[in-house]
Amino acid sequence: MKRTDLRNIAIIAHVDHGKTTLVDGLLRQSGIFRANEEVQDCVMDSNDLERERGITILAKNTAVSYNGIKINIVDTPGHADFSGEVERILSMVDGAILLVDSAEGVMAQTKFVLRKALESGLRPIVVINKMDRQDARPAEVLDEILELFIELGADDEQLEFPVLYAVGRAGWASLDPDEKGTTLEPLFQTIIEKVPCPEGDDSAVLQMLISSLDYDSYTGRVTIGRIHQGKIRTGQQVSICKRDGDIIKGKVLQVFTYQGLKRVPVEEASTGEIITLTGLDNVNIGETISDPDNPAPLPVINVDEPTLQMTFQTNTSPFAGKEGDYITSRHLRSRLLKELEKNVALRVQETEDPDVFLVSGRGELHLSILIETMRREGYELAVSKPSVIFRKDDEGNLMEPLEQLIIDVPEEYMGVVMEKLGTRRAEMTNMVNNGTGQVRLEFIIPARGLIGYRTEFLTDTRGFGIMHHLFHGYGEHRGEIPGRTKGAAVAFEHGTATAYALGYLQERIAFFITPGTDVYQGMIVGENAREQDMDVNVAKAKHLTNMRASGSDGTIKLEPPRILSLEDALEWIDDDELVEVTPLNIRLRKRLLDPTQRERAKKNQTLR
């Protein structure tokens, strides 16, 4: 049985190609908002971190109506680091809108999200967006998209994709690249015509795949998913088919469907509908809600395995407990296990040390977003340098994760980029010069070669370079990669940094702190100009003597400090260092705070 009154669709694209803005336009033109209602831009990006960074991190559900037909829309992340979000969301829909920038064309994450859509059997609608750009090149971009479909093994039906041209911010779409539209009507019509209707039997055994979880302070855990067949009602008894094969019972308290940005309570929902349920506590993503007497589980959602790992541990610095609300290993463990319930691409392992947890994810951004979220929730913790997860093949060879790296850079910086990537074991696979002064370089590079490179890249290209990377697969280990070339400046006593001390040292050290910053022994306060670590006294004050007054040397001129973000700090630290994260500060420190212990450990390592 087909539900002709319903369509389920996801919007997929590379980062910053306009997914969330297009959803804004669809919402506005469907009449969801009142005429006098004030609505902010990127209304789907409700998370504070999403608004600050301008990216989508968590998939969001919404629904609009067009000519009596309900369209459930899911806005998905574009970063490959959030692949778990994309994979589980595509299990809820029957079609996808692939959005591509009219100037940038096919990018790294375009390939990633399209591959996932094609593997799920979806038939995408292609929308070439941002047609108002001066450097728009829609014909060439369409050729790139077609080549990508062929490269990814699209079948004949998927290759017959409809193409629209749009400006999401202005709220119009057109079927003709030379014709400016007035509304998104052509896109609404294409969705209705091209996206398959949901199919299933309302009278069959209930099957609902859990694709997402949320939490409400009033109702507790909220379960989100799509009904593949059957019906579900408020107050109904159900069975939950667990990942390990167990079957447990539960009772649905309320059933909600989506209308605009709101959840609307309903008495009953049937096949094809994307719904949320309350009342079920012991549920996880990938499990099936089914009939209590005749449970029928669906296949679980498979997610790409993590490629990067780092340790999360309790904060043991002298400043521990001064700035955070949650500081113990019990708090940390509870929070990480809670994150596992909805972050399907994350892995958490306990170690021999009860205060240390090994956390694995899809990339630096994936893990840093978790750390930043915990920090804002009031947690204090210390994290290590990210490291890649190695494997061994059937013959015992060491294998490492490789990334496809795509760089767009002005011609004059091409040489320094290629030189730096060469030392990081990158292998160039393609170079395209489009004659505009910009060059696109493509590489296959070990994932560990990218750790710490982004800041260096932005410096080398004066901020004009753009880089994106995508998991390529596992390959043979490519040998040693040089680490950080400059040492750390480490405070050797407790105190408060003074302008006098910083001014005296700034010729040799690029500081991460300002005068007035409280420091402790073993805290990293800057970067040494040389390769070796350097112990410094940044709390030294200028003393009054009988020859001169303490302020007689005039004003000290200090260079602006280099204030590190969380991502910068994770990239900068070495294996013997940690990032201390609190709600108020991000500090760098040595694992061993005492300089004597550090020296002894260094000698022992040398002897080995």
Binding residues for GTP: 16-21
Residues contacting residue 46 through CB under 8 Å, at least 6 positions apart: 60
Whether 465 contacts 418, CB under 8 Å: no
For residue 110, give both structure tokens. 């375009």
The full DSSP string for 538-593 is TT--PPP-SSS-TTTT-PPP-PPP----HHHHHHH--TTEEEEE-SS-EEEEESS-
Contacts of 179 (CB under 8 A, 6+ apart): none
Q: What is the dihedral of CA 448, 452, 453, 457, to 10 degrees?
A: 170
The alpha carbon torsion through 442, 447, 448, 454 (nearest 10 deg) reads 50
Distance, in Å, from the CA atom of 591 to the CA atom of 523, rounded to the nearest integer, reads 9
Measure the CA–CA gap between 21 and 56, rounded to whole angstroms.
Answer: 11
CB within 8 A of 112, min separation 6: which ones? 80, 83, 86, 470, 471
Backbone angles phi, psi at 60, to 5 degrees: -125, 145
- Sequence-distant (≥ 6) Cβ neighbours of residue 219 within 8 angstroms: 253, 254, 278, 279
Radius of gyration of the chain (CA): 27
List the beta bridge partners of residue 365. none
Q: How far apart are CA 300 and CA 241, in angstroms?
A: 10
Given a contact cutoff of 8 angstroms between Cβ atoms, the answer to whether 385 and 573 are in contact is yes
**CA dist., res. 393 & res. 476, Å (int):** 9
Q: 436 to each of 156, 240, 430, how far by Cα in Å?
A: 35, 57, 17
Q: Taking a C-beta distance cutoff of 8 angstroms, is the pair 227, 206 a contact?
A: yes
Question: How buried is residue 128: exposed, middle or buried, by Cβ count under 10 Å (0-12/13-18/19+)?
Answer: buried
Strand partners, 101: 129
- Report the greatest alpha carbon distance in the chain: 97
Strands 69-75, 6-13: pairing is parallel
Joined together, the tokens standing for residue 328 give 């113990």
Strand partners, 528: 509
Binding residue numbers:
16-21
Alpha helices in 6-163 (DSSP H): 19-29, 48-53, 83-90, 108-119, 138-151, 156-159
For residue 595, how far is the Cα from the chain centroid? 37
Q: Which two tokens stand for residue 198?
A: 């949901």
Please list the alpha-helical segments (H only) found in 91-230.
Answer: 108-119, 138-151, 156-159, 185-194
